[in-house]
Amino acid sequence: MSEHAVMLSQHIAEAALKRFGEHFKVPEGQTGGEELLRMLEHGSHRKWQARELDAELLALLFACALSAPSKSDLQQADIVHVEDRARVKAIADLIPDMPWINDAPVFLVFCGNNRRIRQIGEWRGKPFVNDHLDHFMNAAVDAGIVMTQFIRAAEAVGLVTVPISAVRNHPAQTSDILGLPDAVFPVAGLCVGYPLEPGRIMPRLPTAVTVHVNQFNESGLKEQIALYDEKRHALFPLRRQRYAKRYPDAAFNGWSEDKARHYSQPERADFGTFIRSKKFTLK
């Protein structure tokens, strides 16, 4: 192996160790190492250089994103590039704890679009008979895959991103700001720009927890999460305890404590109502 290949394999193994706390071996002669390393080093960014994105580059990234897999070639994902800064500010004002939305050079909203296939059926004189939960899921999953592919393409050219699921905190207002018609809905926003500072690798749950062989297995789950809590806290301790007014201070404020608190409060409970208002039955 060349010196470059050896160094690249080492960097990949180091990044995987930081991410999962596990030792991974890169097969000798493995191709695609630069892309594997970029994926392992992925992180969200919230501070941007005062540098605009080239319009031709952004158009190319859209093409890369929309080359993603699509369920049955239905192509039910759209991207809204929110160029109008007044509209960006209007969305950011709905989410005041995320000022980076307004600061980002580019703000996108990835949408599920079930409208187009309904229109095509009408134009072709065919009934639309799949009015159930799965057709909503198909469009939502397509949009998520397209956003993921955009992130990969953006990072390949030196850009960084942070997804904004909080656009679903106020789906009706977001929909109105973007002029989304029936059967089109926001899945997530995405801030895009050039990084102001280096990223960091945030530890994830070990693959023993999240990768299953043949059948689902939760053996040792509680112990694995406790170990993960300790490891993550040692590297990136949480600055504050979530919902401090509702819960007494925890002796140890790890990841699992934070997430238990997070989902102890209602969040986006009206999203189903919003989606039904967009002409999805969800039955």
Tell me the three state secondary structure of residue 192. Answer: strand
In-domain check, residue 283? no
**What local confidence, expressed as pLDDT, does residue 167 receive?**
97
Question: Cβ-count burial of 77 within 10 angstroms (0-12 exposed, 13-18 middle, 19+ buried)?
Answer: buried
In-domain check, residue 7? yes
**Cα angle at 154 between 148 and 159, to 5 degrees?**
130
Structural domain including 19 reads: 3-40
Report the pLDDT averaged over residues 192-197. 96
144, 112 Cβ separation under 8 angstroms: no
**What local confidence, expressed as pLDDT, does residue 77 receive?**
98
Residue 194 and residue 112 share a domain: yes
pLDDT tens, position by position, 10-48: 999 999 999 999 999 999 999 999 999 999 999 999 999
In-domain check, residue 246? yes
Residue 241 and residue 191 share a domain: no
Residue 182 and residue 63 share a domain: yes
In-domain check, residue 274? no
**What local confidence, expressed as pLDDT, does residue 187 receive?**
98
**What local confidence, expressed as pLDDT, does residue 179 receive?**
98
Helix and strand numbers (H, E) in the chain are 12, 4
Rounded CA-CA distance 207/213 in Å is 11
pLDDT band at 172 (very low <50, low <70, confident <90, very high): very high
In-domain check, residue 48? no
**What local confidence, expressed as pLDDT, does residue 229 receive?**
98
In-domain check, residue 269? no
**What local confidence, expressed as pLDDT, does residue 159 receive?**
98
pLDDT band at 281 (very low <50, low <70, confident <90, very high): very high
**What local confidence, expressed as pLDDT, does residue 126 receive?**
97
Token pair for 256? 């699992």
Q: How many domains does the chain have?
A: 3
Cα-to-chain-centroid distance, residue 181: 23
In-domain check, residue 8? yes
State the chain's mean pLDDT as an integer.
96
Residue position matching structure tokens 């789950």:
221
